[in-house]
Amino acid sequence: MPYLVCSEGFHVASGMLNRWTLQPGITDVRAQVSSMAPWVLANLGKKVTMVFPDYAFGHDHRDYFSAAVAAGGGEVIAQIAIPPTETSFTRYLPQIPRDTEVLYHVMVGPAVLTFVKELGEFYGSGARPQIFGFIDSLEAVDTATPGLEFLEGTHFWEGHCRVKQADASEHETFYRTAVGVDDGGASVSDARDVSTYAHMFSVWETLFVIKAGMEAAGYQGPADRQKFVEAVEAMTTMPAGREHPQGDKIFNGKTHQVFGHQFISRVEGGKLMRVHATSIEETMYPDAVDYTAMSF
Protein backbone atom coordinates (compact mmCIF):
# COMPACT_ATOMS: atom_id res chain seq x y z
CA MET A 1 0.00 0.00 0.00
CA PRO A 2 1.45 3.45 -0.82
CA TYR A 3 2.54 5.32 2.30
CA LEU A 4 3.02 9.07 1.97
CA VAL A 5 4.99 10.75 4.73
CA CYS A 6 4.86 14.38 5.94
CA SER A 7 7.42 13.94 8.70
CA GLU A 8 10.51 15.80 7.39
CA GLY A 9 12.48 12.72 8.45
CA PHE A 10 15.52 11.76 6.43
CA HIS A 11 14.50 8.10 6.78
CA VAL A 12 12.78 8.10 3.36
CA ALA A 13 15.68 9.45 1.29
CA SER A 14 18.29 7.62 3.38
CA GLY A 15 16.93 4.31 2.03
CA MET A 16 15.75 2.90 5.35
CA LEU A 17 12.23 2.31 4.00
CA ASN A 18 10.82 0.55 0.92
CA ARG A 19 9.46 1.46 -2.47
CA TRP A 20 5.93 2.10 -1.20
CA THR A 21 7.04 5.05 0.95
CA LEU A 22 7.20 8.56 -0.55
CA GLN A 23 7.70 12.06 0.86
CA PRO A 24 6.48 14.35 -1.94
CA GLY A 25 5.06 17.21 0.19
CA ILE A 26 7.90 18.48 2.39
CA THR A 27 11.69 18.72 2.29
CA ASP A 28 13.57 16.54 4.79
CA VAL A 29 15.64 17.77 7.73
CA ARG A 30 18.94 16.99 6.03
CA ALA A 31 18.04 19.25 3.11
CA GLN A 32 16.64 21.97 5.38
CA VAL A 33 19.62 22.26 7.68
CA SER A 34 22.36 21.87 5.09
CA SER A 35 20.82 24.55 2.86
CA MET A 36 20.57 27.07 5.70
CA ALA A 37 23.90 26.44 7.41
CA PRO A 38 25.88 28.71 5.02
CA TRP A 39 23.55 31.65 5.76
CA VAL A 40 23.77 31.06 9.52
CA LEU A 41 27.59 30.92 9.42
CA ALA A 42 27.85 34.00 7.23
CA ASN A 43 25.38 36.17 9.13
CA LEU A 44 25.14 34.99 12.74
CA GLY A 45 28.41 33.38 13.80
CA LYS A 46 30.68 30.38 13.51
CA LYS A 47 30.68 28.82 16.99
CA VAL A 48 27.40 26.97 17.35
CA THR A 49 25.74 25.26 20.31
CA MET A 50 22.83 22.95 19.44
CA VAL A 51 19.84 22.10 21.65
CA PHE A 52 17.68 19.31 20.26
CA PRO A 53 15.33 16.51 21.38
CA ASP A 54 17.11 13.21 22.05
CA TYR A 55 15.52 10.98 19.40
CA ALA A 56 15.64 10.41 15.62
CA PHE A 57 14.20 13.80 14.62
CA GLY A 58 16.70 15.66 16.80
CA HIS A 59 19.51 13.34 15.74
CA ASP A 60 18.91 14.24 12.06
CA HIS A 61 19.42 17.87 13.05
CA ARG A 62 22.51 17.04 15.11
CA ASP A 63 24.17 14.96 12.39
CA TYR A 64 23.44 17.04 9.28
CA PHE A 65 23.68 20.52 10.74
CA SER A 66 26.99 19.66 12.44
CA ALA A 67 28.29 18.29 9.12
CA ALA A 68 27.14 21.38 7.24
CA VAL A 69 28.70 23.69 9.83
CA ALA A 70 32.01 21.84 9.63
CA ALA A 71 31.88 21.98 5.83
CA GLY A 72 31.27 25.73 6.00
CA GLY A 73 34.26 26.43 8.24
CA GLY A 74 32.30 26.75 11.49
CA GLU A 75 32.34 24.62 14.62
CA VAL A 76 29.64 23.03 16.76
CA ILE A 77 31.13 23.52 20.24
CA ALA A 78 28.37 21.81 22.27
CA GLN A 79 25.44 19.49 21.60
CA ILE A 80 22.77 19.42 24.28
CA ALA A 81 20.36 16.51 23.85
CA ILE A 82 17.15 16.80 25.85
CA PRO A 83 15.00 13.74 26.67
CA PRO A 84 11.63 14.01 24.87
CA THR A 85 9.63 13.69 28.12
CA GLU A 86 11.37 16.65 29.80
CA THR A 87 9.11 19.43 31.12
CA SER A 88 11.67 21.81 32.60
CA PHE A 89 14.77 23.07 30.84
CA THR A 90 16.52 25.67 32.99
CA ARG A 91 18.77 22.92 34.34
CA TYR A 92 20.19 22.28 30.86
CA LEU A 93 20.91 25.88 29.99
CA PRO A 94 24.14 26.29 32.00
CA GLN A 95 25.65 23.69 29.66
CA ILE A 96 25.63 26.30 26.89
CA PRO A 97 29.29 27.38 26.61
CA ARG A 98 29.93 31.04 27.22
CA ASP A 99 31.79 31.55 23.94
CA THR A 100 28.78 30.36 21.92
CA GLU A 101 28.10 32.73 19.02
CA VAL A 102 24.95 31.04 17.72
CA LEU A 103 22.47 29.04 19.75
CA TYR A 104 20.59 26.59 17.51
CA HIS A 105 17.37 25.21 18.99
CA VAL A 106 14.81 22.81 17.66
CA MET A 107 12.35 21.55 20.25
CA VAL A 108 9.03 19.75 19.74
CA GLY A 109 6.26 18.42 21.96
CA PRO A 110 4.02 19.77 24.70
CA ALA A 111 6.76 21.61 26.59
CA VAL A 112 8.18 23.73 23.74
CA LEU A 113 6.75 26.98 25.04
CA THR A 114 8.31 26.32 28.44
CA PHE A 115 11.66 25.79 26.76
CA VAL A 116 11.56 29.10 24.92
CA LYS A 117 10.33 31.01 27.98
CA GLU A 118 13.02 29.55 30.22
CA LEU A 119 15.64 30.38 27.63
CA GLY A 120 14.45 33.99 27.77
CA GLU A 121 14.56 34.06 31.57
CA PHE A 122 17.99 32.50 31.61
CA TYR A 123 19.57 35.09 29.35
CA GLY A 124 17.38 37.88 30.62
CA SER A 125 18.77 41.29 29.82
CA GLY A 126 22.35 40.03 29.96
CA ALA A 127 24.56 39.24 27.00
CA ARG A 128 23.24 36.45 24.81
CA PRO A 129 24.42 34.71 21.67
CA GLN A 130 22.60 35.03 18.36
CA ILE A 131 19.66 32.65 18.39
CA PHE A 132 18.61 30.55 15.42
CA GLY A 133 15.67 28.26 16.00
CA PHE A 134 13.45 25.95 14.09
CA ILE A 135 9.89 27.21 14.17
CA ASP A 136 9.03 23.73 15.52
CA SER A 137 9.94 25.24 18.90
CA LEU A 138 7.04 27.67 18.46
CA GLU A 139 4.55 26.05 16.06
CA ALA A 140 0.96 26.85 17.12
CA VAL A 141 2.31 29.39 19.63
CA ASP A 142 1.74 33.13 19.25
CA THR A 143 5.14 34.85 18.94
CA ALA A 144 3.65 37.81 20.85
CA THR A 145 2.99 35.65 23.97
CA PRO A 146 4.13 37.41 27.19
CA GLY A 147 7.57 36.13 28.15
CA LEU A 148 8.74 35.76 24.55
CA GLU A 149 9.83 39.38 24.09
CA PHE A 150 13.47 38.29 24.12
CA LEU A 151 12.90 36.56 20.76
CA GLU A 152 12.85 39.98 19.11
CA GLY A 153 15.68 40.00 16.58
CA THR A 154 16.22 36.22 16.70
CA HIS A 155 15.92 34.01 13.63
CA PHE A 156 13.76 31.04 12.73
CA TRP A 157 13.59 28.49 9.97
CA GLU A 158 10.14 28.34 8.43
CA GLY A 159 8.96 25.81 5.85
CA HIS A 160 6.27 28.30 4.88
CA CYS A 161 6.02 31.83 6.24
CA ARG A 162 3.40 32.05 8.99
CA VAL A 163 2.90 35.78 8.57
CA LYS A 164 1.70 36.71 5.08
CA GLN A 165 4.64 38.48 3.46
CA ALA A 166 4.34 41.58 1.29
CA ASP A 167 5.21 39.63 -1.86
CA ALA A 168 2.83 36.70 -1.18
CA SER A 169 1.67 35.00 -4.38
CA GLU A 170 -2.00 34.67 -5.33
CA HIS A 171 -1.67 30.89 -4.74
CA GLU A 172 -0.50 31.58 -1.21
CA THR A 173 -3.48 33.90 -0.67
CA PHE A 174 -5.86 31.29 -2.09
CA TYR A 175 -4.47 28.54 0.16
CA ARG A 176 -4.54 30.75 3.26
CA THR A 177 -8.21 31.55 2.67
CA ALA A 178 -9.10 27.94 1.87
CA VAL A 179 -7.67 26.61 5.14
CA GLY A 180 -9.11 29.49 7.18
CA VAL A 181 -5.89 31.15 8.36
CA ASP A 182 -5.60 34.93 8.71
CA ASP A 183 -2.63 37.06 7.61
CA GLY A 184 -0.97 36.64 11.00
CA GLY A 185 -1.15 32.83 10.94
CA ALA A 186 -4.08 32.31 13.33
CA SER A 187 -7.48 30.76 12.69
CA VAL A 188 -9.95 33.22 11.14
CA SER A 189 -12.55 32.09 13.65
CA ASP A 190 -10.33 32.40 16.75
CA ALA A 191 -7.26 34.65 16.83
CA ARG A 192 -5.91 32.70 19.81
CA ASP A 193 -5.82 29.47 17.77
CA VAL A 194 -2.45 29.78 16.03
CA SER A 195 -1.81 27.37 13.16
CA THR A 196 1.19 25.15 12.47
CA TYR A 197 1.59 27.13 9.29
CA ALA A 198 5.25 26.35 8.64
CA HIS A 199 4.47 22.65 8.23
CA MET A 200 0.80 22.24 7.32
CA PHE A 201 1.25 23.07 3.63
CA SER A 202 2.86 19.63 3.29
CA VAL A 203 -0.45 17.87 3.88
CA TRP A 204 -2.24 20.04 1.30
CA GLU A 205 0.51 19.55 -1.28
CA THR A 206 0.73 15.80 -0.62
CA LEU A 207 -3.00 15.47 -1.28
CA PHE A 208 -2.55 17.17 -4.67
CA VAL A 209 0.40 14.90 -5.45
CA ILE A 210 -1.90 11.95 -4.74
CA LYS A 211 -4.51 13.44 -7.07
CA ALA A 212 -1.97 14.04 -9.83
CA GLY A 213 -0.47 10.58 -9.34
CA MET A 214 -3.84 8.85 -9.51
CA GLU A 215 -4.78 10.76 -12.66
CA ALA A 216 -1.46 9.97 -14.33
CA ALA A 217 -1.77 6.30 -13.41
CA GLY A 218 -5.38 6.02 -14.56
CA TYR A 219 -6.12 4.72 -11.07
CA GLN A 220 -9.26 2.55 -10.96
CA GLY A 221 -8.94 0.68 -7.67
CA PRO A 222 -6.55 -1.03 -5.22
CA ALA A 223 -5.12 -3.15 -8.06
CA ASP A 224 -3.52 0.03 -9.45
CA ARG A 225 -1.54 0.91 -6.31
CA GLN A 226 1.75 -0.05 -7.94
CA LYS A 227 0.94 2.08 -11.00
CA PHE A 228 0.25 4.99 -8.65
CA VAL A 229 3.70 4.73 -7.02
CA GLU A 230 5.33 4.52 -10.45
CA ALA A 231 3.41 7.60 -11.59
CA VAL A 232 4.66 9.59 -8.60
CA GLU A 233 8.21 8.34 -9.20
CA ALA A 234 7.96 9.75 -12.72
CA MET A 235 7.27 13.25 -11.39
CA THR A 236 10.14 15.76 -11.66
CA THR A 237 9.22 19.42 -11.32
CA MET A 238 6.22 20.73 -9.47
CA PRO A 239 5.44 24.32 -10.47
CA ALA A 240 4.15 26.77 -7.86
CA GLY A 241 0.38 27.04 -8.01
CA ARG A 242 -2.76 26.38 -6.06
CA GLU A 243 -1.60 22.75 -5.74
CA HIS A 244 1.81 23.92 -4.44
CA PRO A 245 1.22 27.20 -2.59
CA GLN A 246 4.54 26.98 -0.69
CA GLY A 247 6.44 27.31 -3.98
CA ASP A 248 7.90 25.24 -6.80
CA LYS A 249 9.60 21.95 -6.05
CA ILE A 250 11.77 19.27 -7.57
CA PHE A 251 10.90 15.65 -6.91
CA ASN A 252 13.60 12.98 -6.97
CA GLY A 253 11.89 9.77 -8.16
CA LYS A 254 14.85 7.63 -7.14
CA THR A 255 14.97 8.71 -3.50
CA HIS A 256 11.21 9.43 -3.24
CA GLN A 257 12.00 12.81 -1.69
CA VAL A 258 10.90 16.29 -2.73
CA PHE A 259 13.09 19.40 -2.52
CA GLY A 260 11.86 22.97 -2.10
CA HIS A 261 12.75 26.46 -0.94
CA GLN A 262 13.54 27.10 2.74
CA PHE A 263 12.90 30.37 4.51
CA ILE A 264 14.70 32.16 7.33
CA SER A 265 12.63 34.74 9.20
CA ARG A 266 13.52 37.27 11.87
CA VAL A 267 11.18 38.30 14.68
CA GLU A 268 10.43 41.99 14.15
CA GLY A 269 7.83 43.65 16.33
CA GLY A 270 6.66 40.21 17.49
CA LYS A 271 6.12 39.05 13.91
CA LEU A 272 8.11 36.65 11.77
CA MET A 273 9.43 38.51 8.73
CA ARG A 274 11.31 36.64 6.01
CA VAL A 275 14.93 37.70 5.56
CA HIS A 276 16.27 34.90 3.38
CA ALA A 277 15.05 32.20 1.01
CA THR A 278 17.26 29.36 -0.16
CA SER A 279 17.26 28.07 -3.70
CA ILE A 280 16.06 24.53 -4.36
CA GLU A 281 19.53 23.54 -5.54
CA GLU A 282 21.04 24.45 -2.14
CA THR A 283 18.84 21.83 -0.48
CA MET A 284 20.00 18.95 -2.67
CA TYR A 285 22.52 16.28 -1.69
CA PRO A 286 23.82 13.10 -3.39
CA ASP A 287 21.32 10.24 -3.68
CA ALA A 288 21.63 7.64 -0.93
CA VAL A 289 19.23 5.12 -2.46
CA ASP A 290 17.47 4.18 -5.69
CA TYR A 291 14.01 2.92 -4.77
CA THR A 292 13.08 2.43 -8.45
CA ALA A 293 15.58 -0.43 -8.58
CA MET A 294 13.72 -2.18 -5.76
CA SER A 295 10.91 -4.64 -6.44
CA PHE A 296 7.47 -3.89 -5.03
Partner 1 sequence: MDFGPFLLLALMEGTVQAAVLALTAVGLSLVFGVMRVVNVAHGEFFMLGAVAAWFVTFHLPGPAWAVFLAALVIAPLAVAGVAAVADRLVLKRLHYEPEAVIVATIGLSYMLQQAALSFYGPDARPVAAPFTLRLQLPWFGYSGYKIAVVAAAVLLLLAVWLVMTRSRAGLVMRATQMDGETARAFGIDTGRVYAGVFALGAGLAAVAAVLIVPIQQAHYLMGHDPLLLSFIVVIIGGLGSLRGTLVAAVLIGLSDGVISVFFSPTLAKIIATLAVALVLVFRPQGLFGARA
Binding residues vs partner 1 (CB under 8 A): 83, 86-88, 90-91, 93-94, 98, 109-111, 113-114, 118, 120-126, 140-141, 145-147
Nearer to partner 1, 186 or 235 (CB): 186
Exposure b/e, 20-59, CB count within 10 A at least 16 = b: bbbbbbbbbbbbbbbbbbbbbbeebbebbbbbbbeeebbe
Nearer to partner 1, 121 or 248 (CB): 121
Nearer to partner 1, 113 or 284 (CB): 113
Q: How far is the CB of 100 from partner 1 (least distance, A)?
A: 11
Contact 249, 226 (CB under 8 A): no
Question: Quick one: CA torsion of 118, 121, 127, 133, rounded to 10 degrees?
Answer: 30
Q: How far is the CB of 252 from partner 1 (least distance, A)?
A: 34
Nearer to partner 1, 130 or 145 (CB): 145
Alpha helices by DSSP H, the chain? 29-43, 56-71, 112-123, 170-178, 197-217, 225-233, 280-283
73's torsion region: left (phi>0), alpha (psi -120 to 50) or beta? left
Q: How far is the CB of 181 from partner 1 (least distance, A)?
A: 17
CA distance 209 to 118: 41
Q: How far is the CB of 121 from partner 1 (least distance, A)?
A: 5
Nearer to partner 1, 117 or 225 (CB): 117
Q: How far is the CB of 120 from partner 1 (least distance, A)?
A: 8
